[in-house]
Structure 1
């Protein structure tokens, strides 16, 4: 199947007073129609920068971004305008992205006005339909953002993102600021909308258990790079990259999958993106690191026959494609990580 969205070797650096921040450093990924691609990683790994690159809020320093086969990498504002209707974004803090002087109805209607969709009556009908779709009563259209709860504000943000019937929605930590019960409601809403409208998501989170619940495939990001990419079941059953294992071992025992064996790291804090390590960027924290890890950067390469990819020198592929269930033995004692 042809990819709806594709990034190829995308790089985004920011010049600051102390040097250059390597926010995104050569990321390649794709999203199929009606697919949910989860993107996980620690705070500061580049997830939000990648989100803004995907919808072209930021322009990349290099690389290629394609939407439905069209190269949008170097498009200017006017040229990009018709493509923006096909890709929208849901922000972590919806309140910060709303005009506090605009009503909920006006906030949802604004994309329709900007892109000249319909007359006043058609837009009003569309807003009413969208509010019903996200579970908001019609009378809420006359209220202002401060009059809503956090979960209700996020529903307004979702309705606004859906206003132009996009093919791709980038969700940048859309539930991290919500209470657990409200978080579940918003996740279920997003899943229902995907089924009803055939929309694709890039769902970004630092919480692997949330992503594992809803994503079809999961990409794990560390210090500006993708270190592992696999379908949800494969990644959850047998994570291969040491960083993925460390992330999964940090999930509370009440989460999906039960207790994971802890993977002790050599350093708790990640290196600065102002001065990323040479070779594998995780080698300064990895308990399995060898000489090659600091000397040579591992490519993101295919492992096995299930379209998973891993960027680790210590992951070996054998004739068998059977993947092991992660245990305390192979998480804590084995130096070479094998797919057999």
Structure 2
């Protein structure tokens, strides 16, 4: 980097980054390509199926399935922000992403992922109202209230995304343009910034920790009340139905929050990039693929709707 007249280093703004992705030879890259492609295709098919089935089947037009349809949309969206670019890089020798493209990818990934964290908490609240206050449920969870809860989740996601993207890209990037990751995320970007990133790391840890811990507490409190209510039920069939629905949600919540806690809500997140890349595959591709499976395989209503849609399609 050339010095200026005063002897100080000139900061030359970068115009592009290189996503290094994963190490390994051609065989390793081919296996990763096949894995990414398979996970993404199943993610698209599974989540699109959930959206179509819930939209077309009138029996699924309830608050729980309204939230589930939005969850499928978010899973489809944030995996689509990452997977196509990652797949393209397997075929590219340069693995280049522009400065603007990197900022855009970070913004939308942060938007959809944070919104999903809030939405999972909203879904826990929905189950709490349905199980613990069934008489008040239709009054509390009416359509416009559900729409406002989803909109609020997006607003929270957008606020965090704006903060993370603006704080990260306000840093100077001049020492290296090689990002040790397969997509643009805050921790690997902080590693290549040529400035003190202590404040950014503290804010990343604080904001993401607050969001994840806060939403997790809301989920745990909701399911604490739900568990107590289930144990008081006299009907074995009713207890089984409620328990089955809640187990599906808790499985999705545990997978999603657990991986986010590992990557973002620990003080050493910026240093543990090799582990972070592996975990990132899990929450950007595996979890979005698993969510439709988790909810459909354990849900008789969804399986019934799929069968009705299949029969209707077969007769036309």
Give the TM-score category using the shorter length: under 0.3
TM-score normalised over the length of structure 1: 0.22
More helix by share: 2
